[in-house]
Structure 1
Amino acid sequence: MRQKLKLKRQPTRRRRRQSAWIAFDGEKADCECRVEDVSQAGAKITGIAAEVGSQFAISLVPRAPKRPCEVVWRRGNTLGIRFLG
């Protein structure tokens, strides 16, 4: 029998190098960070000075609605995040 080979395509990442704003625990206070690259599924962000929990919300455009996300990996002050919902 012939087996079908499934190729898992990774979302295309685009280099951004732009500011973004995060909110912790639903608070209105924003913390600025930097988006290094982004895809439909998630992003890599840097410049997080505060201790970040496993979930928060991020806005890639000033005053835009924040998108809920979760931390997938951490390396120093660089985080890999996945967008939720």
Structure 2
Amino acid sequence: MKVSREPRRQLNNRLAWITVDDGATENECAVVDISPGGAKIITEVSFDVTDRLALVLLADHSKRYACEVVWRRGKTYGLKFVVAEPEAEPAEEPAAEPVSEPVSAA
């Protein structure tokens, strides 16, 4: 019987970049480990829990991973990757029925 396990974290300790303020501010960080659901980073920048930021894993790469800070211990932070929820499509309004003019009897 095969046991189902969660995906393993990859231990990296590699250089990455975090951006805040919609990309206006960029700072270096070290990715300690990463998994499909999040990452653990070390940085000199201070964040509060529930702060949102973007993580860039490759220099000169446009792919940014939206993250939320879920815990902190000193300069080490736990990030959860945030998946953008698809926007709900507006409900269709029922088609207007044609208004009939009253017919006058002549």
TM-score normalized with structure 2 length: 0.66
- Residue in 2 that maps onto 1:73: 71
- Kindly indicate whether residue 8 of structure 2 is the aligned counterpart of residue 12 of structure 1: yes
SS in 2 for 1:30: strand
Q: 1:11 to 1:76 in 2, by over 3 A?
A: same
Contact 1:11 1:41 in 2 (8 A): no
Q: 1:43 to 1:25 in 2, by over 3 A?
A: same
- Residue in 1 that maps onto 2:95: none
- Residue in 2 that maps onto 1:35: 31
- Name stretches of at least 5 consecutive residues in structure 2 with no aligned partner: 84-106
Give how far 1:50 is off: 2.2
Give how far 1:63 is off: 1.9
- Residue in 2 that maps onto 1:59: 56
- Residue in 2 that maps onto 1:3: none
Contact 1:23 1:57 in 2 (8 A): yes
User: CA deviation digits over 1:5-57, x for unaligned, max 9?
Assistant: xx9843310101100101112133310000010011111101x2222241100
- Name stretches of at least 5 consecutive residues in structure 1 with no aligned partner: 1-6
- Mapped partners of 2:33, 2:79: distance in 1: 11
Number of matched residues? 78
The alignment-based identity, stated in percent, is 37
- Mapped partners of 2:71, 2:6: distance in 1: 17
Higher Rg: 2
Taking only aligned residues, the RMSD between alpha carbons, in angstroms, comes to 1.7
Give how far 1:72 is off: 1.3
